[in-house]
Structure 1
Amino acid sequence: MNKTPLTPIETQLKSIQHLIQTAKFNDAIAQCKTLQQVTEQHHHIELWYLMAIAQRYTKALTQALSSISTLLELDDSHSRANQEQGYIHLALNNTKQAKLSFEKAVQLNPSLVGSWHELIQLYRQNGQQEQVQKAANHLERLKKLPPALLAVTELMYEGKLLKAEQICRHFLQNNKRHVDGMCLLAEIGMELKVYDDAEFLLASALELAPNHIHARSQYLNLLIRLGKYKAAEQQVETLLVEQSENLSYKVAKANTLMGLGKIEQAITLFEQAIAQDDKIPGFYLQLGHALKAQGDIKKAVTAYQKAYQLNPSYGDAFWSLANTKTYRFSDDEIASMQFQRADITLALADKVQLHFATGKAFEDREDYQQAFQAYQQGNELQHTNSGFDIRKIEQQVAEQIKYCTTELFENRGNLGLKSPDPIFIVGLPRAGSTLLEQILASHSQVDGTMELHNILGLASRLRGRENNKDNLQDNKESQYPKNLAEINSGYFKRFGQQFIDETRVYREQAPLFIDKMPNNFLHIGLIKLILPNAKIIDARRQPMACCFSGFKQLFAEGQDFSYNLEDIGRYYQAYLKLMAHWDQVLPDFVLTVNHEDVVDDLEKQVRRILDFCGLPFEQSCIDFHKTKRTIKTPSSEQVRQPIYKSATEQWRYFEPYLGPLKKVLNIN
């Protein structure tokens, strides 16, 4: 295997490392200082790190601490820098600060053997016996790993995923039945969002080692993330047989029951977990989510408040309160959020959530300038760390238009399963899809479910493994949707049947059911091929209102386009372009429903929707807000109220700040 030649700066860093290894510490320090004068800012992090190590070895501890502090101001998530800070504090006999530094280091990178060694000693000195045991158990697991896999874990936690994957795959080529190696590769796959690979690896690992608790726990977590709750339920039951009192498994079971719509049972389990340990904020948060889905907003709010009372920097608790859409923050809560989000040591996720929650608090107080500033800060942080590239979506749209032609549907449009059961609601998030779902789910012949991942999962399998950045650079096309014209014609009916079988667990007894995954608009051609009698409703909303509503919403996952005004505008334009294509090649297959029309004349649009779905009119669809059902989307409280018009023009309060969006949407 040919090695990539080192760049000049990499060669110089290697030279400094060699000086440290050969105890030429003063030479190393001098070389670091010289390089800092002539290299770009982003190389300074590694130079400060090496300088601090060399300074510590020369006993220049004050200078070492200064160097490492400068580094951590540039990047506080540098795990080894936090570890080095711990060593310096130990040398200075600052044991309390040393413990905090080592704890931060292993939080960022749990594979740092040195930090665990020191923590065991520090916990022992403090009489923290339970912590000693946990640290010792973790260290023992690390020591059992072959050196190659230990290197993989370090690379993985440092964010060097592709390098970690390369080493892990190479290791597994020579150790094909190494279950820990398979688990590590699966973990990398989950980070890279190559979920099919991860699922296959973990299922294979469990065939080899059915009693491997870690593999089964990973598999359980992946199944929950993929929305495969029935399969997840089987895994968690197996784990609970092994460890009946394991709190994390009890909570995982509650989350699985939530996914299956068994909210009462989930609430009971969350309450049992809290009774066992009432000091864990996450338990209250998840209880709050279950209560909110059930419609008990008052109890949900109490649970969220308890979560932030236990941990005042818990961004998710504050964001969950904001995300009820009806909660109003007090002066004290706003002051607390502003204080917490200013903390430079705060975890990224908490900081993002606090920015969005603060934005909602100021918007409710009609302080639109401060609200936008907070939303903007949250979006910038989320966008910077998502790695999202809007060109990928635009390429997917171009490929759907290129390959999903009239000819494709003439030749293959009637090969799928003829079941009329599914009604798909597609579009952009925050476009009124939850309202349309609530209207339809209020009909006696329709079950509401949730945003199901099955179509996206099928599209992902058809696409296969690919590096999208490389594809963009090389103008390569994906296998899918091109392969829709090539695959065995018998597959379409099989895929349709698979969809019906896999989604049955989310249904009750009604003949029809709803899948409201908005991103399915990208795959309407695939839906037509596998389920030709399905109904598709496009939930559409005025572009500025829709895009800004998405911009101020922090999504759980999967909507990374929404964290930048230009990206969200380009996404909306790509969506319009693709929907126009579907109307051309699949006339009358999709019904477009404008949110503003529903608000203006509810009964007219309800009758139009029911006619399209072949359903008789029922008054319950007009009185949708009286329907009792589980709703998990951000709009859950809004659709439990009658139609109101005030939100349709809410974006205008923020119009002075939305120039980049208006420009992309060609709005004057």
Structure 2
Amino acid sequence: GKPREAMAVLDKLIQLHPRHGRAFQERGRILRANGNAQGALAAFGRATEENPSLHESWRGQAEILLAAGRIQEAERIKPHIQRLVNMPKALIYSLDMLSQGSIAKAEQACREFLRENPHHVEAMRLLAQIAVKMNVFDEAEFLLESAVLFEPQNIPLKTDYINVLRKRQKLVEAREHAQELFENDKENLYFKSQFAVISMQLGDYEIALALFDQLLTAMPGEPVTLTSKGHALKTIGDTDAAISCYQEACRDGVIHGEAWQSLANLKTYKFAESEVARMEGLLKNPALRKMDRVYLHFGLGKAYEDRREYDLAFSNYANGNQIKRAESKYIAQHMSEEFEEQRRVFNTLEPSSEGFEAPDPIFILGMPRAGSTLLEQILSSHSQVDGTQELPNILSAVHQLRSRNKDFDRLNYPRAIKELNADELRDFGRAYIEGTRTHRKEAPFFIDKMPNNFRHIGLIKRILPNAKIIDARRHPLSCTFSCFKQLFAEGQEFSYNLEDLGHYYRDYVGLMDFWHQYFPGEILHVQYEDVVDDLEIQVRRILAYCNLPFEETCLNFWETERAVKTPSSEQVRQPIFKSGVENWQDFEAHLDPLKQALGKTLDEFLPLT
């Protein structure tokens, strides 16, 4: 009978344990009992986000949506309710343990159930979810692929399978399954949304934008769809329309942090005083979703940086990164050991030219935020070169090699490279060329700018001996601090902590030194600062390395119309300016941990040409 006191207790509990699903469920009960249906809907939604085993919260959402006449949204809740109704108690316990972070207990309970019921599809699906939590994506894919064979009409199962394929960067395969679901039920909003997003990821912006418009007709003002549409518009260069989408998703009464961070991520957008005040106000909400909080901190970091309030800016960047780092499984020592293992493996191997002979790919790689998007825009302005995106194909080959032995030793890769015979090397190279065709047009050469490919140069040169490789480099502090300010979607977990960033950059330079020695004259080092200082000299140097004739369009790269997906998309659509080259200096008072971690790499830094 004391709802205000109860809410105060729950708010304190949520502040201490922000992923406590049952606390949000209790919050929803109280808000609903007091007539706040929208607040209750948000609380129940957060409860099921944190703990999908909470049947009452799923049912509460469905009832509130139905009462408001939001029939289609309520229909999206029904499969979750039905799943729990049909789920054996042992699996509900496993799902509950998983949601509370007790992964070992969840796995044990699920595996014990599967031993007694080896073909139970829901148990296979749950074990796949546990595997995803543990980042064992190949096992998750195998489990879901098998489960789909048992129950090919099970829609939630297929949806999970598509999501795992996306995590493994098997986007073409994921799109095939998503399109099948969509074609079978074109009125299903989730299927339409899923197909639209994967189409966008594969560069089919016309299809994606048409589907986003259909979704917004059915769900006017829906913030997730508005933000996705904004991403597509930003990528194809329609910045004003993208801003309109993001701003609508940030309107009063809506909490969708990604839209705020997307405005910041344009780099050219300046927040108004009222927008800064609204972001600060949203952060005071104790029920705010974790990722909304992260997005808002990064948005405020950019806002305060633009206002030259650098201490406040750093504090927000640090807070956002700290939340991400707390959930990360990244261990810097493991990455150092993998880099060292690369050196050990290749010190036992003679250079080989037995791979697939195609000269098509030009790899631009290195650290993120080191100027690779600029180099891609310059090269893709050439008539003989197709720009693509950060292609996942080399990483897919790495996953394949890592899982050749079933003991899941994290150093199976790169050791497995030693076992590849000439036929396998050619097959891997051919598979790469064939797998990347969907991203290309008609030019004889194309760019793959996945930055993390620097870790796999040895593999690349063995399977594609004629590939060109450009090492894009930037001042250690400029590069690493720019990573710290950039919220990456995934794949760059070292960026959440200054010490981790420093160690990673140092290890990157050490590994690149090894590759330059192992492949003398075959890798081109391009320093970002040199490109800014004298564009024409560096453009001519890059084109000469790629055996391409000089073309004036490469100097006027900002006039080239193409889709650019990376955070630098707006910056490469304008001429080079020298401002921002040393963007770390305004924050230098906070960067001692980064400098110490960089160590001699910072002390020895000299731009090389």
The 1:310–1:284 alpha-carbon spacing in structure 2 relative to 1, beyond 3 Å, is farther
Of 518, 527, 531 in structure 2, the residue corresponding to residue 598 of structure 1 is 531
Structure-2 separation of matches of 1:542 and 1:358? 25
1:426-485, Cα deviation, whole Å (9 max, x unpaired): 1000000000111111111111111111111221222239999xx9xxxx7711212222
Structure-2 separation of matches of 1:284 and 1:128? 18
2:382 alignment partner AA:
H
1:176-233, Cα deviation, whole Å (9 max, x unpaired): 3322222222222223222222222222222222211112222223333443332222
Counterpart of 1:408 in 2: which secondary structure? coil
Structure 1 residues not aligned, in runs of 5+: 1-58
1:318-340, Cα deviation, whole Å (9 max, x unpaired): 11001111111111101111111
Name the counterpart of 1:645.
Answer: 578
Name the counterpart of 1:263.
Answer: 205
1:210 alignment partner AA:
P
1:504 alignment partner AA:
R
Counterpart of 1:536 in 2: which secondary structure? strand
The 1:131–1:362 alpha-carbon spacing in structure 2 relative to 1, beyond 3 Å, is closer
More deviation, 137-146/384-393:
137-146
Of 390, 395, 400 in structure 2, the residue corresponding to residue 456 of structure 1 is 395
Name the counterpart of 1:533.
Answer: 466
Structure-1 separation of matches of 2:6 and 2:291? 30
**Structure 2 residue 298 is the aligned partner of structure 1 residue 359:** no
**Structure 2 residue 247 is the aligned partner of structure 1 residue 305:** yes
1:1-42, Cα deviation, whole Å (9 max, x unpaired): xxxxxxxxxxxxxxxxxxxxxxxxxxxxxxxxxxxxxxxxxx
* Contact 1:223–1:229, Cα closer than 8 Å, also in 2: yes
The 1:427–1:103 alpha-carbon spacing in structure 2 relative to 1, beyond 3 Å, is closer
Give the TM-score, by structure 2 length: 0.91
**Structure 2 residue 486 is the aligned partner of structure 1 residue 486:** no
* Contact 1:227–1:259, Cα closer than 8 Å, also in 2: no
Structure 1 residue 392: deviation in Å?
1.6
The 1:295–1:103 alpha-carbon spacing in structure 2 relative to 1, beyond 3 Å, is closer
Structure-1 separation of matches of 2:130 and 2:475? 40
Name the counterpart of 2:356.
Answer: 417
Structure 2 residues not aligned, in runs of 5+: 604-609
**Structure 2 residue 498 is the aligned partner of structure 1 residue 586:** no
After TM superposition, the structure 1 = structure 2 runs for residues 157-236 of structure 1, keeping only pairs within 5 Å, are: 157-236=99-178
1:242-291, Cα deviation, whole Å (9 max, x unpaired): 21101122122222222222212221221121112113101110110010
The 1:127–1:421 alpha-carbon spacing in structure 2 relative to 1, beyond 3 Å, is closer
Name the counterpart of 1:15.
Answer: none
**Structure 2 residue 382 is the aligned partner of structure 1 residue 436:** no
1:602-631, Cα deviation, whole Å (9 max, x unpaired): 111111111111111111111111100000
Name the counterpart of 1:344.
Answer: 286
Structure 1 residue 96: deviation in Å?
5.2
Structure-2 separation of matches of 1:501 and 1:448? 16
Structure 1 residue 118: deviation in Å?
6.8
Name the counterpart of 1:105.
Answer: 47
Of 439, 442, 446 in structure 2, the residue corresponding to residue 509 of structure 1 is 442
Name the counterpart of 2:81.
Answer: 139
Structure 1 residue 538: deviation in Å?
0.4
Name the counterpart of 1:54.
Answer: none
The 1:69–1:123 alpha-carbon spacing in structure 2 relative to 1, beyond 3 Å, is same
Counterpart of 2:583 in 1: which secondary structure? helix
* Contact 1:430–1:546, Cα closer than 8 Å, also in 2: yes
Counterpart of 2:365 in 1: which secondary structure? strand
* Contact 1:77–1:108, Cα closer than 8 Å, also in 2: yes
Name the counterpart of 1:427.
Answer: 366
**Length, aligned pairs only:** 599
The 1:134–1:477 alpha-carbon spacing in structure 2 relative to 1, beyond 3 Å, is closer
Structure 1 residue 83: deviation in Å?
4.0
More deviation, 208-217/428-437:
208-217
Structure 1 residue 134: deviation in Å?
6.5
More deviation, 106-115/428-437:
106-115
Structure 1 residue 69: deviation in Å?
5.6
Structure 1 residue 130: deviation in Å?
7.8
1:151-196, Cα deviation, whole Å (9 max, x unpaired): 2221222222333233323333333332222222222222322222
More deviation, 283-292/241-250:
241-250
Counterpart of 1:642 in 2: which secondary structure? coil
1:440 alignment partner AA:
L
More deviation, 259-268/394-403:
259-268
Name the counterpart of 1:447.
Answer: 386
Structure-2 separation of matches of 1:505 and 1:126? 44
More deviation, 415-424/135-144:
135-144
Structure 1 residue 561: deviation in Å?
0.6
Structure 1 residue 114: deviation in Å?
4.7
Structure-1 separation of matches of 2:49 and 2:410? 40
The 1:279–1:549 alpha-carbon spacing in structure 2 relative to 1, beyond 3 Å, is same
* Contact 1:194–1:465, Cα closer than 8 Å, also in 2: no
**Structure 2 residue 235 is the aligned partner of structure 1 residue 293:** yes
Of 466, 469, 478 in structure 2, the residue corresponding to residue 545 of structure 1 is 478
* Contact 1:281–1:311, Cα closer than 8 Å, also in 2: no
More deviation, 307-316/108-117:
108-117
More deviation, 610-619/565-574:
610-619
* Contact 1:95–1:122, Cα closer than 8 Å, also in 2: no
Name the counterpart of 1:522.
Answer: 455
Counterpart of 1:423 in 2: which secondary structure? strand
The 1:95–1:315 alpha-carbon spacing in structure 2 relative to 1, beyond 3 Å, is closer
The 1:592–1:654 alpha-carbon spacing in structure 2 relative to 1, beyond 3 Å, is same
Counterpart of 1:295 in 2: which secondary structure? coil
Q: Which has the higher contact order (CA 8 A, sep 6+)?
A: 2
Q: CA RMSD in A?
A: 2.9
1:279 alignment partner AA:
G
Name the counterpart of 2:606.
Answer: none
Structure-2 separation of matches of 1:169 and 1:130? 36
Structure 1 residue 85: deviation in Å?
6.0
1:338 alignment partner AA:
E
Structure-1 separation of matches of 2:582 and 2:522? 30
Structure 1 residue 133: deviation in Å?
6.9
Name the counterpart of 2:14.
Answer: 72
Counterpart of 2:413 in 1: which secondary structure? coil
Name the counterpart of 1:24.
Answer: none
Q: Percent same amino acid at aligned positions?
A: 46
The 1:232–1:65 alpha-carbon spacing in structure 2 relative to 1, beyond 3 Å, is closer
Structure-2 separation of matches of 1:417 and 1:70? 60
2:338 alignment partner AA:
Q
Of 383, 394, 402 in structure 1, the residue corresponding to residue 344 of structure 2 is 402
Give the TM-score, by structure 1 length: 0.83
* Contact 1:172–1:181, Cα closer than 8 Å, also in 2: yes
Name the counterpart of 1:334.
Answer: 276
Name the counterpart of 2:180.
Answer: 238
Structure-1 separation of matches of 2:71 and 2:556? 59
1:486-528, Cα deviation, whole Å (9 max, x unpaired): 2444211111111111111101111111110101111111111
After TM superposition, the structure 1 = structure 2 runs for residues 114-129 of structure 1, keeping only pairs within 5 Å, are: 114-116=56-58
2:330 alignment partner AA:
F
1:521-540, Cα deviation, whole Å (9 max, x unpaired): 11111111111111111000
**Structure 2 residue 256 is the aligned partner of structure 1 residue 314:** yes
Larger radius of gyration: 1
After TM superposition, the structure 1 = structure 2 runs for residues 613-628 of structure 1, keeping only pairs within 5 Å, are: 613-628=546-561
Counterpart of 2:565 in 1: which secondary structure? coil
